[in-house]
Amino acid sequence: MQYTSTRGNETRVDFRTALLSGLADDGGLYVPTSVPVFSPQEIASWSWLPFDELAWRVMAPFVGDTLDEPTLRALVSDSYRGFRHRGIAPLQQLGHNEWILQLFHGPTRSSKDFAAQLQARFVRHFLGAECERVMLVGASNGDTAVAAIEALRHCPAAGLLALYPSAGTPADRAAVMRSAASDSVSCVAVDGSFDDCQSLVSALLRDWPCPGLIPVSFNSTNWVGVLAQIVFYFHAALQLGGGIRPVGFSIPTASFAEIYAGFIAQKMGLPINQIIVSTNRNDALHRFIHCNRYSRGSTSQTLSPVMDFSLFSNLERFVWELYDRDGGATRALMEHFEACGELSIGNRQWLHARMLFDSYAVDDVLIREEIVTLFHETGSAVDPHAATGVFAGRLHRRNIGAPIVTLGQFAPEKSAGLLAELGAWHGEVPAGAVGTAGDGPLLAADDLAGVHALLARLQAGR
């Protein structure tokens, strides 16, 4: 398996190079040059497999001969050892053909653990136990960085630089990030939005100032962030229909990686009959799908903070697919977006996207009502992100006879304060579950020189 850049057709690298990267040399994202396709019979034969064995079978074609079979099996299996449920990602039934895929049984209680744990083991294997030349870099609303910090226990010599917005980051996640500060870990609040954090990280990775240090993005710009999530769809579809019965998915937009992973799973032969993109009132993706207008705009704080942004890095990978993998066309579109903050695609490509995805934007009033309704109807608490997906799934499912699965990315106790307020939580509210990110030093939203200085201090400390 080889990988190329979304912004050029000449680059060809192996899985190792794609993994140990921030961006491609031309500023694009790495994507596989081909997608493996499995027959219905082969997919159906995987119904009995445990999660780690299924994950190996799904991931193996994307890794190619970079790793031998025993090594890949061991790395994949080991990445799930810290998960608290024997099923790794169990399904919870909400109603007739309605399900939540619980992706929050990892060490930090969020779906971000899947990619973080896998990436840490890949990095350590490829570069050895010391990992002397690696710096993990990324932007986060909280959970992605916390998952990366936890995963560094398995790759202790790698450094970490994380930027997070000062407003909107949950207090408990901000506290974890601040307490992790060391000579090799720096998590810094930015006086701006997640979009500002992501823009600073993108600028840093495109003009990397430390030639002796390998930058590795720890969020979903790295291909492993997509690869880990493709498995979710196979796992759910095999449990609900043996890989033969069509299944639909409603995906709360904690990033575009989940959506793109579903698209890739469908291309691989999985019988996905619908993908619903579920947003909160920060509805950049909903407007893109419905109106062919994607723009960077101001974001507002909502009950579902991990969805409070408008820049979706993996949208570039999807645009590349829509333009028949034309790197030149993708480069022109993305450079226009970076310069102007707006993007519209060709009418043919947009109609294709409309055929692939449905979407819906859910405001906070409806999210509150859905949380309470679900608690009364099922006796179970769901967090606001999952409630967004469940509501959109109920409203837009095309076939009531087919299962609809919402990705449950965050444990309900992460939103225990809100759930208790709504009467949908009877447990103890964890300390720090409410509030804001708190006081501390702030980095200006356009202070790239400040980011360079942080990186220099980390490099010197290591």
Domain membership of residue 117 (yes or no) is yes
Residues 6 or more apart whose Cβ sits within 8 Å of residue 225: 115, 119, 219, 255, 257
Residue 123 confidence (pLDDT): 92
Domain membership of residue 131 (yes or no) is yes
Q: What is the pLDDT of residues 17-62, one digit of tens each?
A: 999 988 898 889 999 999 999 999 999 999 999 999 999 999 999 9
Q: What is the pLDDT of residues 220-245, one digit of tens each?
A: 889 999 999 999 999 999 999 888 89
Domain membership of residue 399 (yes or no) is yes
Residue 31 confidence (pLDDT): 96
Domain membership of residue 356 (yes or no) is yes
Domain membership of residue 34 (yes or no) is no
Greatest distance between any 2 Cα atoms in the chain:
59
* Same domain, yes or no: 174 and 203: yes
Residues 6 or more apart whose Cβ sits within 8 Å of residue 363: 280, 281
pTM beyond 0.75: yes
Q: Which of 244-258, 302-316, 317-331, 425-439 has the lowest mean pLDDT?
A: 425-439
Residue 288 confidence (pLDDT): 93
Q: What is the pLDDT of residues 97-130, one digit of tens each?
A: 999 999 999 999 999 999 999 999 999 999 886 6
* Same domain, yes or no: 345 and 407: yes
Q: What is the pLDDT of residues 1-15, one digit of tens each?
A: 899 999 987 779 999
Domain membership of residue 295 (yes or no) is yes
* Same domain, yes or no: 145 and 264: no
How sure is the predictor about 435, in pLDDT bands with cuts at 50, 70 and 90?
Answer: very low
pLDDT at position 427 over 80: no
Residue 200 parent element (H or E): helix 194-206
Looking at per-residue pLDDT, the higher value among 302 and 59 belongs to: 59
pLDDT at position 434 over 50: no
Q: What is the CA radius of gyration of the chain?
A: 21
DSSP, res 428: P
For the chain, the domain total comes to: 2
SS (H, E, C) the chain: CCEEECCEEEEEECHHHHHCCCCCCCCCCEEECCCCCCCHHHHHCCCCCCHHHHHHHHHHHHHHHHCCHHHHHHHHHHCCCCCCCCCCCCEEEEECCEEEEECCCCCCCECHHHHHHHHHHHHHHHHCCCCCCEEEEEECCCHHHHHHHHHHHHCCCCEEEEEEECCCCCHHHHHHHHHCCCCCEEEEEEECCHHHHHHHHHHHHHCCCCCCCEEEECCCCCHHHHHHHHHHHHHHHHHHHCCCCCEEEEEECCCCHHHHHHHHHHHCCCCEEEEEEEECCCCHHHHHHHHCCEECCCCCCCCCHHHCCCCCCCHHHHHHHHCCCCHHHHHHHHHHHHHHCEECCCHHHHHHHHHHEEEEECCHHHHHHHHHHHHHHHCCCCCHHHHHHHHHHHHHCCCCCCCEEEEECECHHHHHHHHHHCCCCCCCCCCCCCCCCCCCCEEECCCHHHHHHHHHHHHHHC
* Same domain, yes or no: 141 and 282: no
* Same domain, yes or no: 262 and 411: yes
Angle, helices 194-206/448-461, rounded to nearest 10 degrees: 70
Range of the domain at 443: 106-218+430-461
162: domain CATH number is: 3.40.50.1100
CB 410 within 8 A of CB 383: yes
Residue 249 confidence (pLDDT): 97
Domain membership of residue 46 (yes or no) is no
* Same domain, yes or no: 144 and 248: no
* Same domain, yes or no: 416 and 434: no
Nearest to 361 by CA among 403, 316, 299: 299
Residue 28 confidence (pLDDT): 92
Q: What is the pLDDT of residues 173-230, one digit of tens each?
A: 899 998 988 888 999 999 988 889 989 999 999 888 888 888 999 878 899 999 999 9
* Same domain, yes or no: 284 and 163: no
Amino acid type, 320: W
* Same domain, yes or no: 306 and 371: yes
Give CA–CA dist 41/19, Å, rounded.
Answer: 31
* Same domain, yes or no: 322 and 407: yes
Give CA–CA dist 128/329, Å, rounded.
Answer: 38
* Same domain, yes or no: 356 and 267: yes
Residue 430 confidence (pLDDT): 63
Looking at per-residue pLDDT, the higher value among 147 and 416 belongs to: 147
Q: What is the mean pLDDT of the chain?
A: 90
Domain membership of residue 49 (yes or no) is no
In the chain, the percentage of residues whose pLDDT exceeds 90 is: 62
How sure is the predictor about 439, in pLDDT bands with cuts at 50, 70 and 90?
Answer: low
How sure is the predictor about 167, in pLDDT bands with cuts at 50, 70 and 90?
Answer: confident
* Same domain, yes or no: 376 and 264: yes
Residue 219 confidence (pLDDT): 78
Place of tokens 């031309």: 26
pLDDT at position 437 over 60: no
pLDDT at position 421 over 50: yes
